[in-house]
Amino acid sequence: MSPEKATQSDLEAIEIQLGRTPRDVHAIAYRCPCGQPAVVETEPRLADGTPFPTFYYATCPRLTGAISTLESSGLMNTMNQKLLTDADLAGKYHAAHDDYIAARSALGIDVPELEDISAGGMPDRVKCLHSLVAHSLGAGQDVNPLGDEALAQLPTWWSSQPCSENTSEIDK
């Protein structure tokens, strides 16, 4: 999917998803199968001047809840160990880091504070599956191997109710 300009309806859905007004949404990078925004592209400098490295940002509460469950399973430790022993994987993960920075840089917003900073621990460790899965969904599969691996382990988070309906309990 190519990024789409966010509509007012999208921004309203994201506000419900996040429980707050979304900040500096540049585009919708991925929609859940239910049709709601699930990953947004966020400008690298927020309107208040704050540098913001998380270009691909997951907004769907069911998606983020499912990712949190996966994080608590110990998957990140396993991934970090694989990065230490698998040179091919480490190279592909570094390429994902480069892709992340290139996509953000393509907006043409100069943020020197973020030079060579991506998200999720890239390029040499895994510290946030949310960022890696958002990258895989936003940029497309086969860009971030560890994001793809985590994505493949997620349940169908969108199947129980639309992602714009924020609830205190995430369906698994």
Q: Give me the sheet containing 25-31, strands edge to edge.
A: 25-31, 37-42, 56-58
* Residue 67 in domain: yes
Whether residue 19 contacts residue 64, with contact meaning beta carbons closer than 8 Å, is answered with no
**What are the tens digits of pLDDT across the range 119-134?**
999 999 999 999 999 9
How many whole angstroms separate alpha carbon 53 and alpha carbon 59? 16
How many whole angstroms separate alpha carbon 62 and alpha carbon 46? 25
* Residue 161 in domain: no
pLDDT for the residue 157: 81
* Residue 157 in domain: no
**What are the tens digits of pLDDT across the range 66-81?**
999 999 999 999 999 9
pLDDT for the residue 165: 57
The length of the chain in residues reads 172
pLDDT for the residue 80: 98
pLDDT for the residue 134: 97
Please give the model's pTM, rounded to 2 decimal places: 0.91
Which residues of the chain are under the pLDDT cut of 50? 166-172
Beta bridge partners of 31: 37
* Residue 61 in domain: yes
pLDDT for the residue 161: 63
Which positions ≥6 away from 169 have C-beta within 8 Å? Answer: none
pLDDT for the residue 126: 98
pLDDT for the residue 33: 87
pLDDT for the residue 130: 97
Q: Looking at this protein, which amino acid is placed at residue 168?
A: S
* Residue 104 in domain: yes
pLDDT for the residue 172: 33
pLDDT for the residue 163: 61
For the chain, the domain total comes to: 1
* Residue 164 in domain: no
Domain range holding 78?
Answer: 8-152
Structure tokens at 110: 């100069």
- Calculate ∠ Cα 158-121-102, nearest 5°: 85
